[in-house]
Every structure is written in C-alpha cells, then in structure tokens.
Structure 1
Amino acid sequence: MGKRICVLEDNDDIREIISFVLEDEEYEVFSFSSIKDFEKGVKGLHPDAFLLDVMLPDGNGLDVCCELKSENETKNVPVLMMSANFSATQMRKRCTAEDYIHKPFDIYDFVKRIDAQIHHN
C-alpha cells in the first residue's frame, strides 16, 4: 500500500487531476471538496500528508492547517497549502504548513514537492 495523502480541494477538475497524478505515483488519495466532508472523512485515516486549498466554500484551508497543527494526532504530519490567490508569504503569516504551492502548478514540480515532504518524515 502506498503513502496516504488527504486532499481538500473544492474544484472538481483540479481535485480529479491531483488524484490522478498522485495515484499514478502510487499514493493512496483521499479527496474531499469541503471542510465539513474533510473533517468527517479524515478521522482514522492516518495520512502521511495533507494537501489543502486555501479558498473553500465553507471556510478557509489556512484555518484547517492551524487546526491540524494544533492537534497531537496530526501536528507532525506535513501540510502543503495550495492557492491561486495567496502568496507563500501571505500563507506563512497565517499557518505553519511545510510547503506552499501556487496554482496553476507544474505537475512535475508538484509531485517533487509532495514526495519531498512525505519522504522527509
């Protein structure tokens, strides 16, 4: 079984592309389109990383990052944030994610950055 990654992305097309790319790299992908679904679905999964969009229909991925980093069970799990509207500098001021990916992203760079976080732990 591959490494597990939880993806929180509200855009269906982007979520589908991310899942396809990561599954092709032999990751086990669990994807969610809302914070509500993410919070319900992530329990008990023990992922190796989280990939979170910033702007979501029911909240903000930066807040989700802060929440994950404050909980004992997930505080050491790498979080990668994605955004088309926020810069890495803006995101760093709001949460302590391990990496920040700007959309649109280069697929090869995207995979390399995720691999680096997962294999770093």
Structure 2
Amino acid sequence: MTKRICVLEDNDDIIEIIGFILEEEHYEVKYFKNIQDFKKGANAFRANLFLLDVMLPDGNGLDLCCELKANKETSNMPIVMMSANFSDAEMRSRCNAEDYINKPFDIDDFVSRVDAQIH
C-alpha cells in the first residue's frame, strides 16, 4: 500500500525538489500552497504524514500544527515541520510536531526523517 504525504509549501522550487525526492521514494504526494487549501483538501487525501512549512502566505505552519494536534481526528498524525527561518528549538517550543527539518536540507537526511515517521 502506497504511503501518502500532504505537503504544505508555498515555494515552487522547494515543491519541485520535495516532489522529486518523495516520488522517487514511492510516496504519493498531495501539495498545498496555503493553509486555506490545505484545510479544504488534506482530510480527503487520507495522508499518513503532514509535511508543513512554517512561513506561508496566509498564516503560520506552527499554528496549523497546533490545530492539527488539538483535533481528535488528526492528533495522532505524524507532522514534520520545515523552516529556513526558525531553529529546531524555536519550532519545538511552539509546536508538538514529531520532527523538524531546517532548510536548506540534506536530501538523505530529509528522506530518513520522513521515512522514520511514516513507517
């Protein structure tokens, strides 16, 4: 059974890189560029993992992470946060995600962190 990942990222270049990496690893990926679209479409996709950027055009991925963890339907869903502007410590203090990836990221490290949360 194919594992599914919802990616919330507004940068087209990063979407392309992440898409290439995850699809090479045989994940099915659904992309959202803003929180509003994510909230409309993520549940229908039935993902196994949420991969969320922090800085988004219509809000903050850390706040969304908190919302997802507070919702009984998504509270047990693994969440991996990504940011170029926040340190691990800053993200950990604001959001209870399973892991945090700093941008730019090492491809092998990125894959191993995602794999660890989804398997």
**Displaced runs of 4+ in structure 1, greater than 6 A?**
none
Classify the secondary structure of the residue corresponding to 2:90: helix
How far does residue 19 in structure 1 lie from its aligned partner after superposition?
Answer: 1.0
> Offset at 1:41?
1.2
Q: How big is each residue's C-alpha offset from its partner over 1:15-62, in whole Å with a ceiling of 9 and x where there is no partner? A: 111011101100000011111111111122221100000000100000
Distance 1:22 1:66 in 2: 25
- The answer as to 2:52 corresponding to 1:73 is no
Query: What is the distance in 2 between the residues matched to 1:14 and 1:91?
Result: 20
Is there any run of 5+ residues in structure 1 with no aligned partner, and where?
Answer: none
Q: CA RMSD in A?
A: 0.8
1:22 match: 22
**Separation (CA, whole Å) in 2 of partners of 1:52 and 1:110:** 13
Q: TM-score, normalised by structure 1?
A: 0.95
Name the structure 1 match of 2:37. Answer: 37
> Aligned-pair distance for 1:89?
0.3
| Partner Cα distance (2:38, 2:15) in 1 | 13
Whole-Å separation in 2 of the counterparts to 1:74 and 1:19? 23
| Secondary structure of the corresponding residue to residue 41 of structure 1 | helix
Q: TM-score, normalised by structure 2?
A: 0.97
Aligned residues: 119
Map of 1:117 onto structure 2: 117
Unaligned stretches of 5+ residues in structure 2: none
Amino acid corresponding to residue 57 of structure 2 in structure 1: P
